[in-house]
């Protein structure tokens, strides 16, 4: 028998290399952890007693513009998987193409929505053709890492399609996308209790996602799939947060008995997340079960390893538990990293939003930005000329939020809840400006096809549609920020009321840079950039009141910090050694339905 016998499911236990095998897995997303920390996080995963790394693959980052692929640096998937192999871990890949994951549009590229008839997650040709081209590239990257030459023992087909199930041909199509390109490893699907209804596919193992056992989900899976190994593909170690609500915690005392029971019943498990990390930049997703709710930047998830890589109490307790499933002592836990609360830095320069606009107006979604891929993330400014005041109505065509200005004076904001504003009376021609923010596309549920952003339909002044917009793309990507920095328009005399605008400060790091948490009390809402890296969004409504700044993204000496602020600026930026998660809520106290 070949020593390369992959993961097999012919009995009630998995076997690997011909031996019985139990998957003790943990999810860490390479795209949510600075590359310099991949090794530290994987060593901690191994030292916790886990034998398998699982990760999603985000299509939107790997193909930012149609036909342009990026598998380099922070997105070097191949190196990430190889590193796991070097450390003695197996890998389960979850390449989607839809991944959910609290990630913008569930990981699908926004350029797919340029097609007004798009039907995401179906065999609609416009979607299927794009998947085929992406999988040509993706499979060429992952194929050498399959178990015959690498550590990948299984590949997941799509993600929780049972809860979506819009097209019966779609799952066989995705399975075929993998198999026809030479992926011969075990394939599996992953569904929550509700999604298990989906019939499944010949030769593809079903697994389940859950947090509580009280609903008999594992038994249900066993009944559906007798004489097959059972696996909880996502054991939710915590939960994610939305702006304006509480930070979710899942107490170790509640979690441990459940994990113990899963193990005692001989079931395989993957901790989702083992380490959540950060949805850096504008990559957060959103929820929409009737009300649109954008997610925060931190993806701490109350997971065993915190956002900054600290081993929590949960980690220690799980390590004790998993150690009982090993014949040899577990490796030592790597020592904690030092952190620093740098001294506050003072804002030195300011650039008004109005001075940041490029001379040449850049047109909207379907116009020639990003090599005709449209704008994906960030802010867009729409300007039009008006000759009167009156009732201004968005008809809910603003996605997701707009600050409204007349002659660059703020007059109010519009969003999902507020659709109407009274504009002051004006005489002669005035400029109406709408600064529209894409707060994150929904990543779960039926509304995926409706995630176009910006102004998506007519908006009216006194019942008449506004026309002839000048549109500026403020995507805040590295190229944009570079142009800004060199714009020559920065001023050192400014007021903190000079918003919206960009505020610049210098952080001087003495010695080796360390991780830190940025704190912005006294600021309102916006995003923070350090040495050109977009760290994510800040918003005073919380619950997140910090932004994680990884040491490797700082340099010894001078560092450039820019805060983009919409509402209210302060004259300084603060730092802390630890995060402030704000008000918390225990997930065990939430009704089950919110955790489907």
Contact residues: ligand GLA, CB under 6 A: 100-102, 159-160, 192, 209, 234, 240
Pull the structure tokens for residue 81.
């998987």
45, containing H or E segment: helix 38-47
Distance CA 188, CA 162 (A): 13
Residues ≥6 apart with Cβ < 8 Å to 488: none
Give burial (CB, 10 Å; 0-12/13-18/19+) of 569: buried
Q: Are 560 and 530 in contact (CB under 8 A)?
A: yes
Angle, helix 125-142 to helix 170-179, in steps of 10 degrees: 30
Q: Do residues 304 and 318 touch, judged by C-beta distance below 8 A?
A: yes
Full DSSP string of 359-405: SS----TTSSSTTTT---SSEEEEEEEES--EEEE-TT-EESEEEEE
Query: Which tokens is 127 given?
Result: 């979607």
Q: Minimum Å distance from CB 478 to ligand GLA?
A: 28
Smallest distance, Å, CB 170 to ligand GLA? 16
Calpha distance 231→225 (Å, rounded)? 11
| 307 classed as catalytic | no
Cβ closest to ligand GLA, residue 57 vs residue 549: 57
Residue closest to ligand GLA, measured at CB: 100
CB of 107 to ligand GLA, least distance (A): 9
Tokens representing residue 76 in the block: 């070097």
Question: ∠ CA(542), CA(548), CA(550), 5° rounding?
Answer: 175
Q: How many other β-carbons are positioned within 10 Å of the β-carbon of residue 346?
A: 11
Nearest CB to ligand GLA, comparing residues 209 and 284:
209
Which residue number, 273 or 381, has a Cβ lying nearer to ligand GLA?
A: 273
H helices then E strands: how many in the chain?
10, 34
User: CB of 352 within 8 A of CB of 408?
Assistant: no
CB nearer ligand GLA, residue 297 or residue 380: 297
Of 454, 504, 506, 508, which is closest to residue 484 (Cα–Cα)? 504
Cβ atoms 539, 485 nearer than 8 A: no
51 vs 443, beta carbon nearer ligand GLA: 443
Those residues with Cβ within 8 angstroms of residue 424's Cβ, 6 or more apart along the chain or in another chain: 389, 406, 411
Minimum Å distance from CB 209 to ligand GLA?
4
Longest dimension (CA), the chain: 86
Tally Cβ neighbours within 10 Å of residue 440: 30
Report residue 299 as tokens: 């993806």
**Of 110 and 209, which has the nearer Cβ to ligand GLA?**
209
Can you tell me whether residue 78 is helix, strand or coil? helix
- The CB-of-160 to ligand GLA minimum distance in angstroms stands at 5
Catalytic hit among 234, 383, 437, 566:
234
341: left (phi over 0), alpha (psi -120 to 50) or beta: beta
From the candidates 63, 102, 158, 160, give the one annotated as an active-site residue: 160
Specify whether the backbone of 374 is left (phi greater than 0), alpha (psi in -120 to 50) or beta.
Answer: left
Token representation of residue 196: 């298990």
* H-helix segments, 225-344: 252-264, 313-323
Distance CA 427, CA 425 (A): 7
Would residue 577 show up in a list of annotated catalytic residues for this protein? no
What CA–CA distance (Å, rounded) separates 456 from 66?
22
Angle at 160 between CA 155 and CA 161, to 5 degrees: 100
| Least Å from the CB of residue 426 to ligand GLA | 47
Count Cβ neighbours within 10 Å for each residue of 285-306 and write b for 16 or more, e otherwise. Answer: bbbbeeebbbbbbbbbbbbbbb
Please give the positions annotated as active site. Answer: 160, 234
């Amino acid at each position: 028998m070949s020593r390369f016998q992959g993961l097999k499911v012919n009995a009630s236990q998995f076997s690997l290399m011909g031996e019985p095998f139990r998957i003790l897995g943990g999810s860490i997303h390479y795209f949510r952890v600075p590359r310099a920390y991949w090794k530290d996080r994987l060593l901690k995963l191994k030292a916790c007693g886990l034998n398998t790394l699982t990760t999603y693959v985000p299509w939107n980052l790997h193909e930012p513009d149609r036909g342009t692929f990026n598998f380099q640096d922070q997105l070097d998937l191949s190196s990430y998987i190889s590193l796991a192999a070097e450390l003695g871990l197996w890998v389960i890949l979850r390449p989607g193409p839809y991944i959910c994951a609290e990630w913008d549009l569930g990981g699908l590229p926004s350029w797919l929505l340029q097609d007004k008839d798009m039907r995401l997650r179906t065999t609609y040709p416009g979607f299927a053709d794009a998947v085929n081209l992406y999988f040509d590239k993706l499979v060429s990257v992952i194929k050498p890492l399959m178990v015959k030459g690498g550590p990948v023992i299984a590949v997941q087909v799509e993600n929780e399609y049972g809860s979506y199930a819009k097209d019966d041909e779609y799952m066989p199509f995705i399975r075929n996308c993998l198999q026809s390109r030479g992926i011969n490893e075990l394939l599996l699907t992953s569904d929550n209790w509700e999604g298990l209804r989906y019939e499944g596919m010949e030769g593809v193992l079903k697994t389940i996602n859950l947090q509580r056992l009280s609903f008999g989900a594992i038994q249900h899976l066993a009944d559906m799939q007798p004489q097959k190994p059972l696996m909880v593909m996502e054991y939710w170690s915590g939960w994610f947060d939305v702006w304006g609500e509480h930070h979710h915690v899942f107490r170790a005392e509640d979690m441990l008995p459940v994990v113990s029971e899963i193990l005692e019943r001989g079931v395989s498990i993957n901790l989702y997340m083992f380490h959540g990390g950060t949805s850096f930049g504008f990559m957060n997703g959103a929820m929409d079960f009737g009300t649109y709710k954008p997610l925060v930047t931190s993806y701490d998830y109350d997971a065993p390893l915190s956002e900054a890589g600290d081993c929590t109490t949960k980690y220690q307790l799980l390590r004790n538990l998993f150690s009982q499933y090993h014949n040899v002592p577990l490796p030592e836990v790597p020592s904690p990293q030092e952190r620093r609360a740098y001294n506050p830095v003072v804002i030195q320069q300011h650039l008004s939003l109005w001075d940041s606009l490029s001379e040449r107006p850049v047109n909207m979604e379907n116009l020639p930005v990003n090599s005709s891929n449209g704008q994906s993330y960030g802010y867009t400014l729409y300007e039009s000329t008006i000759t009167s005041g009156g009732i201004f109505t968005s008809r809910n065509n603003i996605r997701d939020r707009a600050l409204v200005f007349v002659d660059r004076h703020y007059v109010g904001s519009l969003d999902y809840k507020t659709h109407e504003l009274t504009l002051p009376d004006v005489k002669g021609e005035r400029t109406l400006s709408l600064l529209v923010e894409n707060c994150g596309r929904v990543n779960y549920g039926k509304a995926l096809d409706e995630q176009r952003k910006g102004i998506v339909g007519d908006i009216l002044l006194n019942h008449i549609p506004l026309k002839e917009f000048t549109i500026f793309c403020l995507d805040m990507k590295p190229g944009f920020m570079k142009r800004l920095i060199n714009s020559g328009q920065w001023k050192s005399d400014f007021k903190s009321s000079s918003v919206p605008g960009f505020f610049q400060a210098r952080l001087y790091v003495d010695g080796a840079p360390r991780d830190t948490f940025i704190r912005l009390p006294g600021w309102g809402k916006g995003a923070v950039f350090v040495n050109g890296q977009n760290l994510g969004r800040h918003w005073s409504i919380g619950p997140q009141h910090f932004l994680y700044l990884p040491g490797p993204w700082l340099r010894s000496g001078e560092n450039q910090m820019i805060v983009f602020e919409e509402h209210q600026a302060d004259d300084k930026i603060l730092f802390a050694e630890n995060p402030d998660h704000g008000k918390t809520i225990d997930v065990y106290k939430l009704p089950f339905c919110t955790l489907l």
